[in-house]
Amino acid sequence: MPSFDIASKVDTQTLDNAINTVRKEIAGRYDFKGSPVEIDLDKKEFLIKLSVDSEMKMKQLIDVIISRSMKQGIDAGAFNFEKDAYPSGKVIKKEIPVKSGLAQDDAKKIVKIIKESKAKVQAAIMDDIVRVTGKKIDDLQEVIALLKSSDLNIPLQFVNMKS
């Protein structure tokens, strides 16, 4: 039976490349000259740690991170900007978690959308992916189109297609 997996992962090397590009761009920008700017990537915890000296520069830094990441192929929805920046001495710090893997709630939403569509497929949650199986590849492609058009606010990849 044909099947595919629905995942939401960010490649570590691609993320590292995007952060290195951001560092190079910030180092060359005139408005950041002489300012203490720190950009650290914790690869184990998928966490970006930022430190700048003003709120305005924090917003500019976040904009650069989003634009450079999107050029590297990372969806902007992979970053969780919900935590507020906090002052620490003379600098402002912010931690940005990077979503890697489907959360259980998101996986349940995906399965619910698939079941409500009355498509002739079965969806099963397996750790941090959702496996979809069906009798026809056309049914699977309908599910992919359905999920791409739905507003889930999470970046999805459709991988491991088997026929």
Contact 36, 51 (CB under 8 A): yes
- Band of the pLDDT at 61, cuts 50, 70, 90? very high
Q: How confident is the model at residue 64 (pLDDT cuts 50, 70, 90)?
A: very high
pLDDT tens track for 90-148: 899 999 998 888 888 888 888 888 888 888 888 888 888 889 898 888 888 888 888 88
pTM across the whole model: 0.80
Would you say residue 80 has pLDDT above 90? no
Decide if pLDDT at 40 tops 90: yes
Which residues does residue 88 pair with via DSSP β-bridges, in sequence order? 91
pLDDT of 26 strictly over 80: yes
Predicted pLDDT at 52: 92
Confidence of residue 68 (pLDDT cuts 50, 70, 90): very high
* Percent of the chain at pLDDT exceeding 90: 26
The partner residues of 123 in beta bridges, in order of sequence, read 132
State the average pLDDT over residues 138-159: 85
pLDDT score, position 38: 92
| pLDDT at residue 21, as a whole number | 93
**pLDDT score at 18:** 92
Please provide the average confidence, as pLDDT, over all residues in the chain.
88
What domains can be seen in the chain, in order of their start residue? 3-8+101-162 (3.30.70.860), 12-97 (3.30.70.990)
In DSSP terms, 48 is beta-bridged to 41, 96
